[in-house]
Amino acid sequence: EIHVCGETMNKEEERVKRVELDVPKSHSKLIENDEGESHPLREYRALTIGDDDDKDNQLQCLLVRDRTIEKAALSTTVYPAGQLHDGLDWPGRAHLLEHLLFLGSTPFPKENELDSWLTQHGGHSNAYTDLEMTCYYMDCMVEAIEGTMERWSAALREPLLSTDVVEREIMAVDSEHAKNKPQDYWRIYQLSKTLLAPPESHPYGQFGSGCCGSLLPLSGVAATTEGKDKAADESQKAARIEALRQAVVEFWDLHYTASNISVAVLSSHPLDEIEALVRKHFCNLPKKKSDTIIPTTPPLPRPNACRRVDYVPIKPVYTLELHWPLREIDSLYLEKPTRLLSHLLGDEGPGSLLHVLRHERPWVQELSADNGSRSTSGFSIFILSMELTPMGWEHVDEIITISCAYIKLLADFAKDGLPAHVYQELKLMGDMQFDFLGIPSSAADTVSFLSAQMPSYKDPRHYLSGNFRYFADKLDETALQNDFIKNMEPENMLVFVGAPEYGQELVATPVGSDIGAGVWLTDKWYGTMYKITTVDSTTLAKWKNPNHELVSHLHLPEPNEFLPSNFDLVSLPETTMKQFFGSKESPPVCLRNDHDVQLWYKPDTAFSMPKVNIFVSFPVPSQDTSSSAGSVISALWTEWQNEVANIFAYAASMAGLHGEWVPNSKRSTIELHVSGYSHKAALFLRRLLETTVGTTGTTSDGDAPSLDEQLWERLVHKMRDQYQSFLMAEVYQHAIYYLDQTLEAVPAPRTIEQRIIELEQQKMEDLTAYHNKVFLSSKGLQILVHGNLAPQEALDLAKAIPQILQGQKGSGNKADGPENDGEDLPAPVIPKRTTLQQRIVQLPANSNFVFRGKTWNTENTNHCALLYYPFGIVDLSTNATISFARHLIAEPSYNQLRTQEQLGYIVHSQLKTSGDHVKGLLLLVQGEAKDPVHMDTRIRVFWQTVRTLLVDMPEAEFLSHRRALYENFMESKKNLLSESASHWSLITNQTFHFERIKKIAKHLQDKTKDDVLRLIDRFILFGSSISIQMFGQGVELPNIENGDSTVAISDPIEFGCTQGLHPLPSTRDVKVVNLLS
């Protein structure tokens, strides 16, 4: 017998409705287990648990069996239960409940019980609150999935929601808001919400994230410090907290019912066993009360006029966004009409909106068309976003004119009929993407995606395919015109323009001033400075009837030449597979190793997908890319070549084939990465190389951009934006940046400031000289071919690449400099190092180094304290102990430093590798409430607490942690790209230690509690450390007092140049194998 929602019934009496799902071909293919039995890679079961006569209390479930996984995962999505349901009085209530649900239940009252359980069993948890839903997800070792279900179902069913936890977690929500405040995305998101939907009349306009000011406002009460008044303040605060707690309980009671919850589970257990576990633990979720009604999300009000909003951005970049409120699109997933609009408006090929605005005029750097990120059951918002150049900002009205012209072009085609290939190609690409759907990198990613998708599809058959397939044979062009294009007119548009110049002219005025005059206002929640103007009738008329000289350059994309048609899988002889690739974890083998090329190869042994990854590393002998000048010019060169290739590479990316030039300043190399369907991958790589070889500084073929002054200025501006964006990044990223500068000794300074200076000093002639002379070497290449190509095809590529590059050598312009007199560049000796390697500082023993700095972002009030403990070059056994120590502190550090002490929203620990082999342990906290000196002190105290926890830890719990970490080490890669990246890093660092992780795991199995305690004592409590303390704005930097063991660092680079250095790692011999005989 089973217990279902308060009643006891026989299993046979329970109503369980199962549905056959549309499953990807890649998941239904048969594979063999160790016993030689065949079974599908993944098996799915969708079921509805509950009585058909009581649909209000039916639970939707999706179960997944994968015999190959090392971890199980669970996700629940609660819908409707999102920001739109907070209510006017409690902005952020849904988000607060998301935090609280992890902090104890009646059956499991210990606050960190769930996270402690998950960590002990190799897992983790996370969640997010969206507009209409809240999604929770977690993973663990397979055998722990029932315990995870038991704890999580208890949290859904009987959360504690105690007053003290509510009060404390308000600070966590506030800290998260403090992290988001200095980010332009959140600031414009809230502005758009407020202006499209006034919060007093529509829930979309409300503040959904929450903060102290929204959850715990004490308006009208002045804080005091004396006796009776202070007591009155505390009494009012306590009353507000209790009222908030009751509001949260009411929200949970209304929304967290069985009919609103979707459950997704992934495990290696048989589906019948997974189903039994789900029914055992989730069948008694709260029932929906018969008299409760959750309001539906209403459509957005239609704008009365087209308005322009100018705002001051945090990052010094120029942006333009066009927002159109439209009808809901969830019910149209069979056709996906707005995805077609997004595809056409976001196209980057010849004739596209971006191509015209980027190449015919140097106005736009990047463009994206977003049709779904702000989609709800009541409305959707279509957003056309552009990153502008400074010149583009001066021509915003013209850019909008040309954008409206492209929309008018689509309207004309919708009336007369779109070319057949447009919709059919999307339909084919959707089928391809679904049929060859890869496995996400983690089990938690799988279930969180699935449970979040389930509420969108009324037909459970489409839980998996609904997001990918175009089910209609033909597009309804009349509906496309009437429902969408017709409503994307200028009168229905909200325009956002961001420019750093606005910050120099504004004078803020109180909220509520006459906005018709275009005065500057301040957003209530993020402090964004903005002004609103109504677009005048003359400008509006130009947008409605666009007539611009560039309009004639616009046209729809041509048929895509890169769509694959051959999905056959390559097979190697059985003897070859057994000898070299006997398991799916087998490393790649070297097929060629000479002065020209070192070629590594591995077939797809794990995923049986018609895809391949090809990585090529080119030494750059002309200039040191690890110096500021070298890194800047190589980055400019790769940006240029990616843009040249984008004329055809964008179409390839739409067909699932991606190519990109990437500078690798760490290796002093430039890399070319090609990934995707194998059918045309080799052809695509050759075309990328031939295009680069054929590019000169002054001319180019066809639509490809030549390097003129306009393109040069745009490339420099793009690089400048990237550097400036880093200056506006999270404070903890700045802390890690200074730590790296302290640890990494390099030949020349490479600070971000130095790179910005070097960028401004570069000239177009420098880039053309870099390109036309010796931009790439045809000697000393490293190549990895991994996936669905035969060994002979890999060898053919390795032969062709140097030949293509050598053809380039004779095409240089003599005016650019002297020729090479026919002599080859010096040939490297493989496997000796041919590229510059980072040298890592060796810190003196028993010293504590402290650096204090200020974040560059003048709007960021967050602080960060980072403590780094160096271990140096360690053997595999010590590496295993360090990894174990980091695993053991992960949950306690989060619980103590964030949940209990509320030091900040971000608490992060990691085993850090500097260079290729120098190890250290890092622990950081970022938050607004406490300064970094206090954070630093608390982190050091925390290590004492950890030692005590470890001493008192029961042996069984310790062994459970050890096994969990072992399983993490042994976990196989979940997709081809992640496996390729792992192999590539070991090839380019020339250690070729492919079995390193497995050997560390083997050492881990012998580790004892005493091993970890000795390591903590020696290296953490009584060893050396580097403390990076980053101060947010509004706080002065305190002086550092040098002591017996405390040393102030004033300049990280100068510090690194005065310390000893660790030796470079040794290389390993490379054995060449012949797979053709």
* pLDDT at 540 exceeding the cut of 80: yes
Among 81-90, 241-250, 654-663, 1057-1066, the minimum mean pLDDT is found in 1057-1066
3-class DSSP assignment, residue 5: coil
Tokens of 592: 């060629």
- DSSP conformational letter for 482: I
Query: What is the SS3 assignment for 187?
Result: helix
Per residue in 812-850, pLDDT (tens digit) is 333 333 333 333 333 334 444 455 567 899 999 999 999
Helix (H) or strand (E) holding 149: helix 145-157
Residues 559 and 424: beta-carbon distance below 8 Å = no
pTM: 0.93
pLDDT at 220: 38
**Per-residue pLDDT at 379 exceeds 50:** yes
State the average pLDDT for the chain. Answer: 90
Residue 827 has what pLDDT? Answer: 38
Report pLDDT digits (tens) over 892-939.
999 999 999 999 999 999 999 998 899 999 999 999 999 999 999 999
What is the spatial distance between Cα 64 and Cα 13, in angstroms, rounded to a whole number?
A: 25
Query: Among 314-328, 616-630, 1062-1076, where is mean pLDDT lowest?
Result: 616-630
CA torsion 766-768-770-776 (nearest 10°) is 160
745 — pLDDT class (breaks 50, 70, 90): confident
pLDDT digits (tens, 9 = 90+) for 236-257: 889 999 999 999 999 999 999 9
Q: What number is the average pLDDT over the span 531-544?
A: 96
Could you give the CA distance from residue 472 to residue 547 in angstroms, rounded to a whole number?
35
Percent of the chain exceeding pLDDT 70 equals: 91
Per-residue confidence band for 221, with pLDDT thresholds at 50, 70 and 90: very low
Whether 752 shows a pLDDT value over 60: the answer reads yes
What is the per-residue pLDDT for 837?
Answer: 67
Of 138-152, 279-293, 632-646, 669-683, the one with minimum mean pLDDT is 279-293
- Buried/exposed 852-876: b ≥16 CB within 10 Å, e otherwise: bbbbbbebbbbbbbbbbbbbeebee
Average pLDDT over residues 467-473: 96
Burial class (CB in 10 A: 0-12, 13-18, 19+), 470: buried
Q: Which pLDDT band holds residue 696 (cuts at 50, 70, 90)?
A: low
Does residue 613 contact residue 672 with C-beta atoms inside 8 Å?
Answer: no
Q: pLDDT digits over 962-1003, tens only?
A: 999 999 999 999 899 999 999 999 999 999 999 999 999 999
Query: Which pLDDT belongs to residue 15?
Result: 58
